[in-house]
Amino acid sequence: MFKKFDDKESVSGTQQLKSSVQKAILRKLVEEFPPIVNYITTILPKKEPFKIVKCHDHIELLARIDGELLFFRKREGNWMPTLRLLHQYPFLLPWMRVDKGAIRFVLSGANIMCPGLTSPMAKMSNVAKDTVVAVMAEGKQHALCVGTASLSSEDISKKNKGIAIENCHYLNDGLWYMKPVK
């Protein structure tokens, strides 16, 4: 999603949100990520407005007024935390751990395949299809990417073939290097 993303070319505009829209987004975030409920006022303070950064390819970024990017989504889909936010609050998403052999492919933007999650050193959380997940790596402390499960963890174990997680945002992609949007 952000492989060839460049903040100067890809951003088409920003829009400060009305308080009613902000409240709706906050409710949606708490609904999608239940562990965030105790930290939502730290991440998005109540008295501080936030804004939407509109980008090409129907991508929207949710940013604080200081420009820090927090969440993203494509085409009215589910909000997903950026890796920077996920590194601060690693418990926001269920996680899947890939083996060492998959790391270089994940960091080049490849989707995560079923065999990378069913190998002996890999580990899976019990998730349903279309769940937003963090992808960790064997021997690493922080998440490598944020993605969407293409199959449930049960189906990944049974099928063990094809794409398991669609890679949406990974370390060193365009969103990772994007500067705060003023």
DSSP classification of residue 18: P
d(CA 114, CA 94) in angstroms, rounded, equals: 17
Give CA–CA dist 61/45, Å, rounded: 17
User: Is there a contact between 125 and 153 (Cβ–Cβ < 8 Å)?
Assistant: yes
**Do 108 and 161 sit in the same domain of this protein?**
yes
Place of tokens 């998440």: 143
Listed residues 35, 61, 88: the one ending a domain: 88
Let me know whether 128 and 84 are in one domain: no
Q: Are both 21 and 71 inside the same structural domain?
A: yes
Residue 55 sits in the same domain as residue 107: no
d(CA 120, CA 158): 15
Whether residue 182 lies inside any domain: the answer is no
Task: Give residue-wise pLDDT tens across range 19-47.
Answer: 889 999 999 999 999 999 999 989 988 88
pLDDT of residue 144: 93
Residues 57 and 106 in one domain: no
Query: What is the domain range of residue 107?
Result: 95-170
Query: In this structure, is residue 180 part of a structural domain?
Result: no
Could you give the number of structural domains in the chain? 2
Q: Looking at the domain assignment, is residue 38 inside a domain?
A: yes
Report yes or no on 25 lying in a domain.
Answer: yes
Q: pLDDT by residue (tens digit) across 54-88?
A: 988 889 999 988 889 999 998 888 899 999 999 99
The pTM for the full model equals: 0.89
Please give the Cα distance from 2 to 48 (Å, whole number): 28
